[in-house]
């Protein structure tokens, strides 16, 4: 029997199919295809937009695509000092060096930089990761940010209206000064766009040096009481509530809580 891969009964783009298989994000799949790593029925495919209606015959680096697994999502409390990347040319530690070995292959939803901490979502579905990241999804990301400086009301109002830094336009950012203790102030910031190092860049434009950055929520997902280095799977019912009923049919029917000390997973 052919293993079909269609979206609403229609053929799907090959890059999307590879992402759905959990191998990588859709963008990464597009790069793999252009690099000649993907073939269909023995012929190299270099067009990431080509539509296919079955995964039979599709191979990446000579290997058939894995059978699609149920969509799963985990909350992970990323510590400072780890990169959100699978491999680092400089051999620095990444989050994937510390995840439990019992986890399937997972992809991060967006990134947190080396010196940032807090909530990072992981999923085994590259296409779902892409949907979570899209600005069109409209999800807010909430952060607590400690800065060396004394934020003033006019600066906070400027951020609320959106600003440009080094030629890059940043969408309005909601900012609230939670408290000021000496030379350090704690801000609560809400983003809807999430450009590369956005918080650090806009803060530095006002002369505030960020010395701690914690993401406390991403859309409906919250960091909660998750300790540094801990990972916790989102129950399928809660996931369906958050993302809608479209993917409920392919979700797992059990909840798995993975200890950060499980085999490869270590508390940091």
Active site positions, annotated: 113
Distance CA 111, CA 40 (A): 32
Q: How far is CA 187 from CA 7, 97, 192, 226, in A?
A: 42, 31, 16, 21
Which region, left, alpha or beta, applies to residue 224 given φ > 0 means left and ψ of -120 to 50 means alpha?
A: left
Distance CA 146, CA 213 (A): 7
Cβ-in-10-Å burial (0-12, 13-18, 19+) of 203 comes to buried
Q: How many CB atoms lie within 10 A of CB 235?
A: 16
Distance CA 72, CA 109 (A): 12
């Amino acid at each position: 029997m052919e293993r079909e891969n269609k979206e609403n009964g229609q053929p799907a783009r090959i890059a999307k199919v590879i992402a759905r298989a959990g191998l990588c994000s859709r963008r990464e799949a597009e790069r793999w295809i252009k690099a000649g790593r993907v073939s269909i029925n023995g012929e190299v495919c270099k067009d990431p937009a080509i539509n296919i209606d079955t995964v039979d015959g599709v191979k990446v680096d000579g290997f058939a695509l894995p059978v699609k697994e149920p969509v799963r999502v985990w909350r992970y409390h990323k510590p400072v000092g780890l990169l959100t990347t699978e491999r680092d040319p400089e051999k620095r530690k990444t989050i994937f060096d510390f995840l439990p070995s019992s986890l399937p292959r997972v992809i991060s939803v967006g990134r947190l930089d080396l010196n940032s901490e807090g909530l990072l979502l992981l999923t085994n579905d590259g296409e779902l990761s892409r949907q979570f990241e899209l600005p069109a999804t409209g999800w807010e990301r909430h952060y607590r940010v400690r800065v060396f400086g004394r934020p003033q009301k006019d600066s906070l109002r400027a951020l609320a209206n959106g600003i440009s830094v080094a030629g890059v336009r940043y969408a309005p950012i909601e900012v609230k000064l939670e408290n000021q203790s000496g030379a350090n102030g704690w801000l609560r910031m809400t983003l809807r766009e999430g450009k590369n190092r956005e918080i650090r860049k806009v803060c530095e434009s006002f002369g505030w040096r960020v010395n701690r950055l914690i993401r406390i929520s991403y859309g409906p997902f919250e960091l909660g009481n998750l300790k540094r280095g801990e990972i916790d799977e989102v129950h399928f019912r809660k996931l369906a509530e958050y993302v809608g009923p479209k993917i409920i049919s392919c979700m797992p029917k059990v909840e798995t809580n993975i200890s950060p000390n499980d085999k490869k997973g270590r508390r940091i």
